[in-house]
Amino acid sequence: QVELVESGGGSVQAGGCLSLSCVASDYIDSSLCMAWFRHAPGKDREWVAVLFPADGVTKYTNSVKGRFTVSQDNANNTVYLQMNRLKPEDTAIYYCAAGDSGPIWSVSAYKYWGQGTQVTVSS
């Protein structure tokens, strides 16, 4: 059983930045996608970004393109989410996830989940 632990959340003003980390307790097969989701109050959990460790390809939801960057450090079993030019609408609990069982934007595609880290952006 792989455990994922996120860190790096916090409170910032609009326009600021945060860097989230997701550390896996064990090696994650490179065939699994590593994704970030977020869950804002009153909304469904939303896919934010995904990284394919085997080749480093990344994809993003439209609302964060050009502002967020996902990257990996394979030596340390860590995935990062660099968030720049944050907006109040980015406020949510951010989760990392690993899996390969469906569309990259689907919650059900991911077997492993972290506990989440809160990101709050004030205007």
d(CA 36, CA 42): 19
The pLDDT tens digits of the residues spanning 28-80 come to: 787 889 999 999 999 999 999 999 988 889 999 999 999 999 999 988 899 99
Instruction: Provide the CA 104 distance to its chain's centre, in angstroms.
Output: 12
d(CA 123, CA 107): 29
What is the pLDDT averaged over residues 11-25? Answer: 97
CB 72 within 8 A of CB 34: yes
